[in-house]
Homo-oligomer: A and B are copies of this chain.
Amino acid sequence: MKARVHVMLKNGVLDPQGEAVRHALGAMGFDGVQGVRQGKVIELDLAEGASEADVKQMCEKLLANTVIESYTVEMT
């Protein structure tokens, strides 16, 4: 059983890493880039019987800093 978690900064939270990537892309000649947001994708191999609620608990406790980050969970 697999789960895929996306962790992104909440809207309104400054993303210095994304800004740095945007500037670098511009400097390399990619001028159509208006904004960049960078986050984490975490793929989990889970034992049978693991539930979405378990994965959400993992996000709340460890995988995401819920003060500034939001997360989505896809069970696959």
Contact of B25 with A47 in the complex, beta carbons under 8 Å: no
Contact of A42 among B36, B49, B54, B63 (CB under 8 A): B36
**In the complex this chain forms, how many copies of it are found?**
2
Q: How far is the CA of A19 from the CA of B58 in the complex (A)?
A: 15
Residues of A within 8 A of B (CB): 6, 8, 18, 21, 24-25, 28, 30-47, 49-50, 54, 57-58, 61-63
Q: Can you spell out 21 A-B residue pairs with CB atoms less than 8 angstroms apart?
A: A6-B41, A8-B43, A24-B62, A25-B62, A30-B54, A30-B58, A31-B47, A32-B47, A32-B49, A33-B44, A33-B45, A33-B46, A33-B58, A34-B47, A36-B42, A37-B42, A37-B43, A38-B42, A39-B43, A40-B40, A41-B41
